[in-house]
Structure 1
């Protein structure tokens, strides 16, 4: 009688626990020579480029560039407006005195701050699959003279790691004559990573101001945000497309080109005039039905004034896709035989994370927001930007539960008897006045204890004044959650039929000295016994931990010891 075993290698990703680090930076930023000097700081924001990183043993070094943008009140040339001697000011000079003096300036290229941070990450290895996000968590600007500011920034670094593991498995057993042995099998769902692609994409397009809006004298602030992301897979290509919502705060101009008031305008997907983008990434092996994780980040966004009614948008995006598929693998977990036959097995505990699928949904937002204490009341809203902050995601019974905070930045006009000025208000961890964010989405079959990876984005965010100090915030948090469940299963790596041996031919005390490269499996095959019999006779707790020179007793009655 003979026994034949079929083997295979099981490959699966094992996800390490995410690590995050928040770092603080302080940078002195000088103003360029060709812009007005600073009278007062309104505020600003920060854009973090996709980071670079170097993976080492138990640590990772992350570096990147930051693009700060400052909104400030510029100084006027008093001699221009004062007039000569005691003469009265002209109408044009009076108009210039009343004109908005808000300016916006960004720092790029060699002037931009650069950061580098080394983070300890136990278990990390250079060959692992690593993904790093950097998120600007806030930036405060302080005047340090009329020609420079100090930017105090907070950056959150988020690190995701997957280790590709391989495990030998027994997939089938055949014997001659047939049907002498019975193999018990189990199925596993296994995630297989197909690949990842990343590319830079430039989007250039004109932006026209509506006829009802005044012309453009100068840009104060702008922001660009990807939205409406969609994708499809077709013959090894992944099509990623979406829109860029662009908001603008600007100083208007009259028919003669003179500055007037501060205005705002938005080009958005919901309004039908957002900037569309589309790209195709080649990825061999990608097919319909696979799981695609796309990500689009703004690397750089510039708006240039072409005329009083037209701007030119130049946006550089980084588009990334990760593709995986779910396979069903069958493996042998037990083999039974007649009572007079002895089988030996190599067993081990396989610990992995089995994919559960995914679910998508939206959490409706409806919050009443108060202006921070000490800020002037609102006369007119200009623009806002929001993003989910530190959000924890937990698996419940058929539900994904979310709890965290919302970061919000608002620009508005405040009017007093003496002046009209631009004001910025912020809510978030950097300013210590977080807005709550909580909700849940359905996930059929989800159980408590499951592991989740979530992808969040704000959609249709809108602010409405309800009084000069309160606002109503509405919108939706779009949630995509991918689930995994931990699974531990005892599987067989090998199986062998133990030929019968006559105990009378074996000495009562037979010892073997372990040699380099030996395993209990190899020794059991040599002496026609079983791994279990060797383990019991020598009180070996871990069959994988033999030491060279260790003395082992070979059991005289291997079949009895193994049963």
Structure 2
């Protein structure tokens, strides 16, 4: 009698590799002022834009640019603040063995430091850019879920806990808005700094889409009426990431990246330069998934017939534990400020490990503060980084797992004192502990017609359990069932064999194959 095979598919996202490199980006920027006419460089800032990524065999090709914002003061008595914007492209190759076209690359980049040197009428810039890439592949695995049609079949199942991935899609949200400067601030004469951040508020999975609610946070520092002002505006938006076939109730993850932000200063009804027309494009990358479990058939045999199995080695990232943790960060910095124009914070995770019942995460908080100095009443900037360490309790008998961290920085709160600034923020961790689960799944099964001859077997066999034996292996070896061995030895269903156990195995001769 034939065996009816019931197959099923499941999708997993497998991490193929990670790598991090440093790139030295150098350029020179010409100024409108000669060196002897420059009083001081107030700041030299930069940010990295990843313009394009491509995967070829064993490599991730990355194209990007470092966008510079330079602010300096001349010795002129009036209108002596100058702004220079510049950009320098770069191209890099990140080597990751085993990757190929069609896989998904996630690339993150940040500037470790910028060095500058002022020459006659130009400034030399050298930036060290950290570029990290993770390459993943969504794989569809076909497995045998059940066998039917024969009463003589014994099957061994294993349960795996994994993340069923439904897909990953990218789309773009376009945001346009006009921001009005308040009447208690001067109109805009010169923009010193303009940047936009994207922040996810909530993401919900609905039918055929992920619904993203977020904010585009617009920050501008400008000159007006011989004074310096700052504007911060939060522009809410909703966006759909279309994923046909997606069902409500699944889980979703979204990453937002501002890929374009331009502005134009316009006159209002009173012909004052108080309107900022902004146009923003945000890249939204969404992944939909469910944390689920599945019973897989990893072995099978017949008590009456020799059958042929084709097995396939599988490696699945199995979910062990999800941990949410919030870490509060408090720092004091020494500045003598009368007014805070803007505070920009970012963070980098440097190390993650498990030791003695704790998950330890180490990183640095990068802090940029733009302020008006109390003594000179001039614009100044402060830059520094602060190390932090998070100790998160987690008891485990094994250390054979990987630590995957998704961390997001909250909004910065501050308290300004006469000679110091107190900063308070928090990092929200989503920690996933996974281990690689390796097993042999059955790919195909075939009958042979070769019946097992039990006539020469003894009526009773006494088997002494050896090291490494499990009940399934013993039953398979003697063409019986685990239930029959348990019944013959008056053992409980969950009994585990011990080395030296004497097991009675009774011969059961089947006259017919049904």
TM-score normalised by the chain length of structure 2? 0.76
- Residue 387 in 1 paired to residue 361 in 2? no
Q: 1:490 aligns with which of 416, 440, 447?
A: 440
- Residue 314 in 1 paired to residue 265 in 2? no
Q: Which stretch shifts more, 121-130 or 148-157?
A: 148-157
Q: 1:239 aligns with which of 192, 197, 211?
A: 211
Rounded to whole Å, the distance in 1 between the matches of 2:236 and 2:434 is 34
Cα distance change on mapping 1:39 and 1:201 into 2, 3 Å: farther
- Residue 197 in 1 paired to residue 165 in 2? no
Q: Which runs of 5+ in 2 are unaligned?
A: 267-271, 454-476, 478-514
CA offset at residue 367 of structure 1? 1.8
CA offset at residue 336 of structure 1? 4.3
CA offset at residue 182 of structure 1? 2.0
The total of aligned residue pairs comes to: 446
Q: Which has the higher strand share?
A: 2
CA offset at residue 40 of structure 1? 2.9
Rounded to whole Å, the distance in 1 between the matches of 2:452 and 2:432 is 57
- Residue 354 in 1 paired to residue 333 in 2? no
Helix, strand or coil: the match of 1:139?
A: strand
Cα distance change on mapping 1:345 and 1:369 into 2, 3 Å: same
CA offset at residue 228 of structure 1? 4.5
RMSD: 3.3
Superposed CA deviations along residues 220-246 of structure 1, whole A, max 9, x for unmatched, are: 223322224322222212222211223
Other-structure match for 1:66:
66
Other-structure match for 1:103:
82
Other-structure match for 1:365:
329
Other-structure match for 2:179:
207
- Residue 275 in 1 paired to residue 239 in 2? no
5 Å-filtered alignment, 1:122-521, equals 122-146=97-121, 148-175=122-149, 178-253=150-225, 259=226, 261-267=227-233, 274-306=234-266, 307-338=272-303, 341-356=305-320, 358-370=322-334, 377-394=336-353, 401-416=360-375, 419-427=376-384, 434-439=385-390, 448-468=399-419, 470-500=420-450
Helix, strand or coil: the match of 1:305?
A: strand
Rounded to whole Å, the distance in 1 between the matches of 2:194 and 2:362 is 30
CA offset at residue 165 of structure 1? 3.9
CA offset at residue 361 of structure 1? 4.1
CA offset at residue 190 of structure 1? 3.9
Cα distance change on mapping 1:186 and 1:180 into 2, 3 Å: same
Helix, strand or coil: the match of 1:50?
A: strand
Cα distance change on mapping 1:4 and 1:317 into 2, 3 Å: closer
Rounded to whole Å, the distance in 2 between the matches of 1:236 and 1:168 is 24
CA contact (8 A) 1:51 1:132 kept: no
Cα distance change on mapping 1:145 and 1:193 into 2, 3 Å: farther
Superposed CA deviations along residues 411-441 of structure 1, whole A, max 9, x for unmatched, are: 223355xx543222211xxxxxx31122256
Cα distance change on mapping 1:300 and 1:495 into 2, 3 Å: closer
CA offset at residue 119 of structure 1? 1.8
Cα distance change on mapping 1:301 and 1:444 into 2, 3 Å: farther
Q: Which runs of 5+ in 1 are unaligned?
A: 77-96, 254-258, 268-273, 372-376, 428-433, 504-529, 531-563
5 Å-filtered alignment, 1:32-71, equals 39-71=39-71
CA offset at residue 467 of structure 1? 4.9
CA offset at residue 380 of structure 1? 3.8
Rounded to whole Å, the distance in 1 between the matches of 2:275 and 2:2 is 83
Superposed CA deviations along residues 327-378 of structure 1, whole A, max 9, x for unmatched, are: 543321232443x64344334443210235745443211122346xxxxx54
